[in-house]
Amino acid sequence: MNVIEAHGLRKDFTVRVRKGLLRRERRDVAAVDGVDLTVQRGELLGYLGPNGAGKSTTLKMLTGVLHPSGGRVSVCGLTPVPQRILLARRIGVVFGQRSQLWWDLPLRDSYELLRHIYRVPAAEHAARLRRCRDLLELDPFLDTPVRQLSLGQRMRGELTAALLHGPEVLFLDEPTIGLDVVSKQAVRGFLAELGETGDTTIVLTTHDLADIERLCRRIVVIDHGRVVHDGGIDALHARYGSQRRVTVDFDTPPPALPDLPGVHLETTTGPRLTFTLDTSASVGTLISTLTTLGNLRDLSVTEPEIEEVIARLYRSEGRAPSQRFS
Ligand X SMILES: Nc1ncnc2c1ncn2[C@@H]1O[C@H](COP(=O)(O)OP(=O)(O)OP(=O)(O)O)[C@@H](O)[C@H]1O
Site residues (vs ligand X, CB under 6 A): 13, 15, 29, 31, 49, 51-57
228-251: burial string, b at 16+ Cβ within 10 Å, e else: bbeeebeebbeebebbbebbbebe
**Which of 85, 89, 113 minimizes the C-alpha distance to 101?**
113
Using the minimum distance from each CB to ligand X, give the nearer residue, 57 or 110.
57
**Least separation in angstroms between CB 107 and ligand X:** 26
> Toward ligand X, which CB reaches closer, 202 or 273?
202
Q: How far is the CB of 103 from ligand X (least distance, A)?
A: 23
Q: By C-beta, is 56 or 243 nearer to ligand X? A: 56
Query: Which CB sits closer to ligand X, 55 or 115?
Result: 55
The CA-to-CA distance between both ends of the chain, in Å, stands at 35
In whole angstroms, what is the distance from residue 138 CA to residue 153 CA? 8
Nearest CB to ligand X, comparing residues 178 and 241: 178
Nearer to ligand X, 31 or 159 (CB): 31
Smallest gap, in angstroms, from Cβ of residue 25 to ligand X? 14
Minimum gap (Å) between residue 172 Cβ and ligand X: 13
Amino acid at 97: Q
Pairing of strands 44-48, 201-205: parallel
Minimum distance of ligand X from residue 228's CB (angstroms): 13
**Least distance in angstroms from the C-beta of 282 to ligand X:** 38
Residue 118 phi, psi dihedral angles, 5° rounding: -90, 0
CA atoms within 13 Å, Cβ hemisphere of 307: 6
Element (H, E) at 288: helix 283-291
Tell me whether residue 15 or residue 238 sits nearer to ligand X (CB atom). 15
Give the closest residue to 132 by CA, choosing from 116, 117, 148, 110.
110
What residue type is assigned to position 149 of the chain? L
What's the rounded Cα separation, in Å, for the pair 312 and 326? Answer: 16
On the 0-12 / 13-18 / 19+ scale of CB atoms within 10 A, 205 is buried
CB of 270 to ligand X, least distance (A): 45
